[in-house]
């Protein structure tokens, strides 16, 4: 097994048997890969088409199977529930996709991420032909999720008390434990399975309220849920992670992407409670200053203020 990256950060979790090669896809430095062959390449971080193109220049004919980790953000129409892998993809509206860089992507993530992922998929097929697997995850959660997006909710439930919940609690959400995703991708590699798959979870409908009660089953905390309207949140310019106001617009199908093809190809899911428990254990192992600075959600003070305003208006 070989890990290729820039070597900017230590990787203590990798066993000593893993070979590490260094380069930089931003500058086109892939020389460490030249002249080598591998059974399979799992391309995890790529968001830029030129990264795939350059990988093809070095690896075409030298890897038997190319697995590209994409995203459900590639879909053009998020208003439909049950989107399958055959749905149309979002078009790129820029001038030159191959000229896009990490800097231009980060400057306009909302408009570029999905289209560039879609074009990266196309480039994967162009470079590696039929021996390609495209995996399209949604929200990836669990231990070591540094975004804190899903983590906000287990932490909030663990604190107990009155919790501000967006919408009526019945909006669907989809999350997948990173370990379930990784283990399945390895199985795809081992079996040589090609194709395109939506890697979303769980394997049953999960609503916002059900997720919060699932967190409570792990933490044992006493909580009450106060549902506030999306209009109220908009009025006070509040965005809460994982949840999306579906309304009847472009997000009406949010949280309802079909995972039937992936499940048929062997994707399995650990218990939601296991993900929550392991996530909380990991987060609580972090340095105190990191725990005190969550990267998503709202502060407890802001939540209390919003609850006061809501009750003043609605009783």
* pLDDT of the chain, 315 residues: tens digit per residue: 999 988 777 666 778 888 989 999 999 999 999 999 999 999 998 899 999 999 999 999 999 999 999 999 999 999 999 999 999 999 999 999 999 999 999 999 999 999 999 999 999 999 999 999 999 999 999 999 999 999 999 999 999 999 999 999 999 999 999 999 999 999 999 999 999 999 999 999 999 999 999 999 999 999 999 999 999 999 999 999 999 987 767 888 999 999 999 999 999 999 999 999 999 999 999 999 999 999 999 999 999 999 999 999 997
Is residue 218 within 8 A of residue 277, CB to CB? The reply is: yes
Per-residue model confidence (pLDDT) at position 248 = 67
Whole-number pLDDT of residue 97: 97
What's the CATH code, domain 144-174+204-255+270-315?
3.90.25.10
Residue appearing with tokens 């570029």: 112
pTM of this structure: 0.95
Q: What is the pLDDT of residue 15?
A: 82
What would be the CATH architecture of the domain defined by 1-137? 3-Layer(aba) Sandwich (3.40)
CA distances from 269 to 78, 177, 262, 297 (A): 24, 8, 11, 26
**What pLDDT score was predicted for residue 188?**
99
Structure-token pair, residue 90: 């979002």
Q: Which of 216, 232, 203, 257 is nearest to 78 (CA)?
A: 257
Determine the Cα–Cα distance for residues 160 and 220; give it in Å rounded to an integer: 9
Buried b (16+ CB within 10 A) or exposed e, 155-190: bbbbeeeebbbbbebebbbbbbbbbbbeebbeebbe
Helix axes 49-59, 109-128, angle to 10 degrees: 20
The b-or-e profile of 231-269 (16+ CB within 10 A means b, else e) is ebbeeeebebbbbbbbeeeeebbbbbbebebbbebebeb
Give the residue extent of every domain in the chain: 1-137, 144-174+204-255+270-315
- DSSP lists the bridge partners of residue 63 as 38
Residue 106 backbone phi and psi in degrees, to 5: -65, -30
Burial of 91 (0-12, 13-18, 19+ CB in 10 A): exposed
Q: How far is CA 94 from the centre of its chain?
A: 24
């Amino acid at each position: 097994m070989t890990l290729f990256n820039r070597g900017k950060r230590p990787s203590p979790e990798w066993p000593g048997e893993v070979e590490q090669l260094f380069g930089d896809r931003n500058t086109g430095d892939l020389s460490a890969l030249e002249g080598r062959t591998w059974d399979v390449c799992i391309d995890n971080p790529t968001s830029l088409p030129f990264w795939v193109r350059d990988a093809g220049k070095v690896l075409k004919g030298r890897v038997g199977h190319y697995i590209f980790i994409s995203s459900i953000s590639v879909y053009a129409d998020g208003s439909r529930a049950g989107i399958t892998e055959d749905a149309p993809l979002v078009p790129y509206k820029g001038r030159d996709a191959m000229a896009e860089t990490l800097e231009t992507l980060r400057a306009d993530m909302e408009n570029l991420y999905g289209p560039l992922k879609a074009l990266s998929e196309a480039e994967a097929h162009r470079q590696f032909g039929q021996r390609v697997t495209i995996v399209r995850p949604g929200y990836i959660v669990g231990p070591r999720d540094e975004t804190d997006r899903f983590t906000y909710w287990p932490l909030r439930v663990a604190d107990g008390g009155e919790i501000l919940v967006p919408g009526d609690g019945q909006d669907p959400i989809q999350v997948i434990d990173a370990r379930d995703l990784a283990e399945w991708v390895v199985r795809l590699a081992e079996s040589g399975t090609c194709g395109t798959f939506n890697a979303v979870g769980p394997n049953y409908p999960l609503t916002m309220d059900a997720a919060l009660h699932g967190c409570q089953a792990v933490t044992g905390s006493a909580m009450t849920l106060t549902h506030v309207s999306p209009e109220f949140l908009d009025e006070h310019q509040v965005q809460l992670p994982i949840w999306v106001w579906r309304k009847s617009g472009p997000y009406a199908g949010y949280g309802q992407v079909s995972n039937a093809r992936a499940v048929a190809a062997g994707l399995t899911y650990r218990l939601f409670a296991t993900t929550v428990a392991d996530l909380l254990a990991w987060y609580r192992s972090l340095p105190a200053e990191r725990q005190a600075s969550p990267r998503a959600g709202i502060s407890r003070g802001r939540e209390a203020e919003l609850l006061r305003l809501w009750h003043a208006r609605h009783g």
